[in-house]
Amino acid sequence: VAAAQANFMRVVVPEDSGTGVELLCVVKAVLKKIKRRVLVGDKVLVGSIDWVDRRGMIENVFQRSSQILDPPMANVDHFLVLFSLDQPRLEPFSLTRFLVEAESTGIPVTLALNKAELVDEETLVGWRTRLRSWGYEPLFCSVNSKSGLDTLAFILRNQTTVIVGPSGVGKSSLINALRSNHGAYDAAGGDNWFDPIMGSKWLEEQRVGEVSTRSGRGKHTTRHVSLLPLSGGGYLADTPGFNQPSLMKVTKQSLAQTFPEIRNMLIRNEPVKCSFNDCLHLGEPGCIVKSDWERYPYYFQLLDEIRIREEFQLRTF
């Protein structure tokens, strides 16, 4: 399932050559009755196919290898957290929030830093050293000067990847640089790709959804997720409107596991463990997690934010 909107799903039937044929599908009533929701990324069984009008009906959903909530998607293999080195400047706490949100799914995370051509070599080396101490090996790229794009394409090949990051870092630009130009998609890319089934109507609605999300008006604006085929095989999910990590799935207890620094300290000390099973690593007696690492204050701050949210939820429900 490459995209979902209202009662329609766009399903790609893969082909050995090119990106495959697209079918516009409805969901069989029985699936709705048993509340089996079809998500973007789902592998589905399609019946009643009309190859002329390219329509069909989703009759069943295959078992998922993963499922994420924000954005709602199935079978995601990989997260690509994209930030820029400048314009906007790389903000470590904001980056940490995105990394924590992605790590909380348990799905592998790659960190890429765009607009590399805007900064000097010394700055790149500085960030590399710093981010290695966080437990990440950053991939520098520049859509403008086309550097690092081959490496990225290689990393993303044959996987379903969700790209996340704040607005303005170059997510759309990167998607356009990496997406496949054949099959059902128009080579122009961007907002004006031709949709053989929905025509311009689909695109109009999609654009309206994005605009109202950006202006932040109302809570019920539509946020669309769609999978775009990559030229090297695999898919990249564009997630307009999901550029604010909610951390809703992260709990006080699970937060530590989203920091590679803590994970590594715990592994290094095995088989010795913290004295308390539910240790939050805040200097409890017998805690084996030290506090001498750069992001410790961020861990502390996020823990506090989650504590306040959890207490609020307890009082409300």
Rg (alpha carbons) of the chain, rounded to whole number? 21
DSSP summary character for residue 18: S
What is the closest distance, in whole angstroms, from the C-beta atom of residue 219 to ligand GDP in the complex?
Answer: 22
What is the closest distance, in whole angstroms, from the C-beta atom of residue 66 to Zn ion in the complex?
Answer: 28
CA–CA separation, 74 vs 76, rounded Å? Answer: 6
Q: Which is nearer to Zn ion, 10 or 281 (CB)?
A: 281
Q: Which is nearer to ligand GDP, 48 or 145 (CB)?
A: 145
Q: Could you say which of ligand GDP, Zn ion, none residue 172 binds, taking C-beta under 5 to 8 angstroms by partner kind?
A: ligand GDP
Q: Which is nearer to ligand GDP, 242 or 299 (CB)?
A: 242
Q: Could you say which of ligand GDP, Zn ion, none residue 274 binds, taking C-beta under 5 to 8 angstroms by partner kind?
A: Zn ion
What is the closest distance, in whole angstroms, from the C-beta atom of residue 186 to Zn ion in the complex?
Answer: 54
Q: End-to-end CA distance of the chain: give it in Å, rounded.
A: 35
CA–CA separation, 219 vs 213, rounded Å? Answer: 9
What is the closest distance, in whole angstroms, from the C-beta atom of residue 88 to ligand GDP in the complex?
Answer: 9
CA–CA separation, 292 vs 201, rounded Å? Answer: 55
- Which residue from 260, 296, 299 is spatially nearest to 110, judged by alpha carbons? 260
Among 107, 287, 296, 309, binds Zn ion (CB under 5 A): 287
| Token representation of residue 270 | 């095995």
Confirm or reject binding of residue 289 to Zn ion (CB under 5 A).
Answer: yes
- Which residue from 30, 60, 23 is spatially nearest to 42, judged by alpha carbons? 60
Q: Which is nearer to ligand GDP, 41 or 170 (CB)?
A: 170
Q: Which is nearer to ligand GDP, 24 or 230 (CB)?
A: 230
**Three-class SS of residue 215?**
helix
223-262 footprint of Zn ion as x/- string (CB under 5 A): ----------------------------------------
Residues engaged in binding ligand GDP (CB under 6 A): 114-115, 117-118, 142-144, 167-173
CB 255 within 8 A of CB 242: no
Strand partners, 179: 230
- Residues of this chain that interact with Zn ion (CB under 5 A) are 274, 279, 281, 287, 289
